[in-house]
Amino acid sequence: MNSSLILSIITFVYGLAGFLYIFAWIFKKPAAAKIASWVAIVGLMGNTAGIILRWVESYRMGIGHAPFSNLYESLVFFAWTIALIYLVVERKAGNRTIGAFTMPIAFLAMAYASLKTGISSDIQPLIPALKSNWLIAHVITCFIGYAAFATSFGIGAMYLMRQGREAEAVTWLDIAKPLTLFIFVLLFSRVLLAGNWAMAIIIALPLCVLFYIGVLLVRRMPADVKNRLLGVFPEAAILDELGYQVTLFGFLFLSIGIISGAVWANSAWGRYWGWDPKETWSLITWFIYATLLHARLMRGWRGRRIAYLSLVGFAAVLFTYFGVNLLPGLHSYGAFSQ
């Protein structure tokens, strides 16, 4: 039994948990949701075991290092953190429908790590720049932050579904929404799936159309079905508060993540900040969430606007994580210029 095998199995375990949460939500089967929680816990334990085993394996190979050094390992840790944060939120909120919106993200992260060609699951030796304890601190804190933002993204999406169209009309958003959605989906299909822009459009268009068909279906749904689906969500005010608490947690860790990255950069290259695209994008993300905090605290923004901001914030997180590789003239971290 090696770690890669365990982690591939965990992909399916998370998938099953996500599926059960969604099933329990749509068909109103609390028993299934309970099973889902247990499946998620098993998944989290297996994920933990996989990470530890991978660590041990790297030492057996004589190139021992903490398993936080490449895209594959970071995705695995990302999934682990999402599952952990979600399970804590589930306990605190006493509501299992949130799992239908967050566990699938953990599943997608693992599935992407295992299936996407070009992401190697081999344990690789560390290049010199990565041999630093600051790197471990940096990766762990950043990904705790990212996972918290993923969770608040899921909660924000629930909030928007629950509030629907009635409350707090924000008309300019109605025009900007489809366009923004298309741009985001296009970008991410280009970054994550497609090798060129034409292909990305071919993927993105149907996705957006599907999304709007979904929205339309939900709007046309008979009132009783709608009530049944959305009635089991936590109350809007609780979703709002919960999302905010998770965002605070994410902001603390994003800050520590950026700071530890800066300290690492200073110990490796003699500069703590160089406006490298990755650094800059993490700062952009930080600015967006700082906006969210101030808007909520001082301008009294609540609900939909905050939910939208946390969607935009999470898009920035994803771009910091994956999208930066698309940008021109990038010297990625760890690359050792010759």
Partner 1 sequence: MNTKQSSDNASAIDQIWKSFASVKLTIGLLLTLAATSIVGTLIPQNEAPGAYLQSFGETLYRVFSLLGLFDMYHSWWFRALILLLVVNIIVCSIDRLQATWKIIFARNPRFNIARYRQLKNKTEFNQDGAAAHLKELYLPVISRRFRFHRTEDNDNGFAIYAEKGRLTRLGVYVVHLSVVILLIGGLIGSIFGFEGYVNLGPGDSAHTIQLRPDNQILPLGFEVRCDDFIVEFYDSGAPKEFRSSLSILKQGKVVAQKDIIVNDPLHFEGISFFQASYGQLSPTEMILNFTSQATGMIYSQTAAIGQPVVIPEDLGTFTLKKFTRQANFKGHNIGEAFVGELTPPNGQPIEVTLPLKFPSFDKMRKGQIIVAIADFVPRYYTGLQVSRDPGVWVVYTGFILMIIGIYITFFMSHQQLCVEVTTEGPKSQVMVAGTSNKNKMGMQKRVAQLAHRLENLPPP
Contacts with partner 1 by CB under 8 A lie at 63, 124-125, 127-129, 131-132, 134, 241, 248-249, 251-252, 255-256, 259, 262-264, 266-273, 275, 277, 280-281, 283-284, 287-288, 290-291, 294-295, 298-299, 316, 324, 327-329, 336-338
Residue 105 tokens, joined = 């993200």
CA distances from 224 to 111, 218, 242 (A): 35, 12, 26
Q: What angle do CA 51, 107, 255 make, to 5 degrees?
A: 65
Length of the chain in terms of residues written? 338
* Residue 269, Cβ density class (10 Å: 0-12 exposed, 13-18 middle, ≥19 buried): exposed
Binding mask 279-298 for ligand HEM (x = CB under 6 A): -----------x--xx--xx
- Between residues 191 and 248, which has the closer beta carbon with respect to ligand HEM? 248
241 binds, among partner 1, ligand HEM, none (CB under 5 to 8 A by kind): partner 1
Interaction between residue 299 and ligand HEM (CB under 6 A) = no
- Between residues 72 and 286, which has the closer beta carbon with respect to ligand HEM? 286
End-to-end CA distance of the chain: 39
288 binds, among partner 1, ligand HEM, none (CB under 5 to 8 A by kind): partner 1
- Between residues 76 and 258, which has the closer beta carbon with respect to ligand HEM? 258
User: Considering CB under 6 A, how many residues would be counted as binding ligand HEM?
Assistant: 5
Question: Side chain identity at 314, as an amino acid letter?
Answer: F
Match 């560390």 to its residue by tokens.
Answer: 126
Taking the complex as a whole, the smallest distance from the CB of residue 11 to partner 1 amounts, in Å, to: 27
Taking the complex as a whole, the smallest distance from the CB of residue 65 to partner 1 amounts, in Å, to: 12
Integer Cα distance of 258 and 52 in angstroms? 25
CA distances from 240 to 26, 31, 49, 85, 102 (A): 22, 26, 34, 17, 16
Residues in contact with ligand HEM by the rule CB under 6 A: 290, 293-294, 297-298
